[in-house]
């Protein structure tokens, strides 16, 4: 019902595609052609990749000539998979055209290369992927977005000063794709000599970020999983609360208030949450703003 409502009112059909007997992540938007959003590779249509995190399925599209990603996203994917990206690439901020449908891309500052796609057809549709900074996003009629921190308890302030102050002789647990690069740049600007485990080192090098590959440094960056194999001062850099290491709050996502702020900024008539965990409270708050809400599980499933 939600899919048909959006088709009748906004001129495109959002749905969950069933391909080869499986429901595919995350969703498909049907205009004059089908665009699969942060989804596994498909035998038809185009895959729009908002950024390089594994749960947005860029790594599953390395050999897909109809995949579309930013140049930086493609570079990260190539560094992490050791394969060449076969799709089309663009600079974030550029206009692109696919099968006659024009799109504008916008930065979301979630990680290097993360991009929103703004599609103008019968209505204005904005697909964001994960978002850190919404200030450059345009107004839209339908906002297709995330709610990683969609619970009202998920309100936080980043502790960037603490990242710098505690760095000397410390090991920081950071997600290798995205947060590691952001933290490396912060520490480089602060004058620290930064080293990183091989995966982080390889990704940073692919983006021209200076880190060393070894143990001799002021501060070392490792994945959260590798933090257990280190000694001395150890911190996990995250807004999540489930780690037992000492935490420094750093997040590449909007918090609960940020999600509400993004919706106010983009001023949509309807929001589709396709990733994350939007709470009932968030949905009700959005509806009180006069904005319709659709969750991923409420979309039609269509066999293709």
pLDDT, one tens digit per residue, over 72-119 is: 999 999 999 999 999 999 999 999 999 999 999 999 999 999 999 999
Alpha carbon separation from 47 to 66, 69, 95 (Å, rounded): 6, 9, 17
Residue that is last in its domain, among 248, 265, 292: 248
Whichever domain contains 127, its CATH number is: 3.60.15.10
**Are 266 and 220 in a shared domain?**
no
pLDDT in tens, 252-262: 999 999 999 99
**Are 11 and 33 in a shared domain?**
yes
**Are 177 and 137 in a shared domain?**
no
**Are 260 and 243 in a shared domain?**
no
**Are 139 and 276 in a shared domain?**
yes
Residue that is last in its domain, among 232, 248, 264: 248
**Are 210 and 63 in a shared domain?**
no
Instruction: Check whether 1 has a pLDDT greater than 70.
Output: no
**Are 193 and 277 in a shared domain?**
no
**Are 83 and 217 in a shared domain?**
no
Three-class secondary structure of residue 105 per DSSP: strand
Domain containing 198 equals 160-248
Whichever domain contains 232, its CATH number is: 3.40.50.12650
The per-residue pLDDT for 215 is: 74
**Are 58 and 138 in a shared domain?**
yes
**Are 283 and 221 in a shared domain?**
no
**Are 118 and 147 in a shared domain?**
yes
Alpha helices of 1-136 — where are they, by DSSP H? 2-10, 71-81
In whole angstroms, give the CA distance from residue 117 to residue 92. Answer: 10
Neighbouring C-beta atoms of residue 262, cutoff 10 Å:
22
pLDDT in tens, 222-251: 999 999 999 999 999 999 999 999 999 999
**Are 124 and 265 in a shared domain?**
yes
Three-class secondary structure of residue 187 per DSSP: helix
In whole angstroms, give the CA distance from residue 181 to residue 178. Answer: 5
| Nearest partner of 186 among 254, 250, 108, 106, judged by Cα | 250
Number of compact structural domains in the chain: 2
């Amino acid at each position: 019902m939600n899919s048909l409502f959006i088709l009748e009112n906004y001129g495109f059909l959002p749905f969950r595609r069933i391909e080869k007997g499986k429901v595919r992540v995350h969703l498909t938007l049907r205009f004059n052609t089908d665009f699969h959003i942060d989804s596994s590779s498909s035998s038809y249509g185009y895959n729009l990749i908002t950024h390089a995190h594994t749960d947005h399925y860029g790594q599953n599209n390395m050999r897909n000539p109809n995949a579309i990603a930013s140049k930086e996203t493609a570079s990260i994917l190539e560094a992490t998979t050791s394969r060449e990206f076969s799709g089309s690439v663009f600079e974030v901020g550029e206009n692109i055209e696919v099968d006659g449908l024009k799109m504008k891309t916008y930065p979301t500052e979630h990680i290097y290369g993360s991009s929103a796609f703004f599609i103008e057809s019968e209505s204005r549709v904005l697909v964001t992927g994960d978002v850190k900074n919404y200030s450059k996003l345009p107004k839209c009629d339908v906002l297709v977005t995330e709610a990683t921190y969609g619970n009202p308890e998920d309100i936080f302030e980043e502790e960037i000063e603490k990242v710098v102050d505690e760095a000397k002789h410390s090991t920081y647990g950071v997600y290798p794709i995205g947060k590691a690069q952001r933290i490396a740049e912060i520490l480089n600007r602060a004058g620290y000599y930064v080293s990183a485990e091989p995966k982080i080192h390889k990704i940073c090098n692919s983006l021209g970020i200076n880190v060393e590959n070894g143990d001799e440094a002021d501060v070392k960056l490792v994945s959260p999983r590798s933090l257990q194999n280190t000694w001395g001062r150890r911190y996990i850099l995250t807004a999540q609360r489930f780690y037992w290491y000492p935490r420094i709050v750093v997040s590449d996502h909007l918090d609960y208030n940020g999600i509400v702020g993004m919706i106010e900024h983009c001023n949509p008539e309807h929001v589709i949450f396709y990733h994350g965990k939007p709470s009932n409270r968030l949905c009700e708050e959005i509806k009180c703003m006069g904005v319709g809400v659709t969750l991923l599980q409420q979309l039609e499933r269509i066999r293709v």
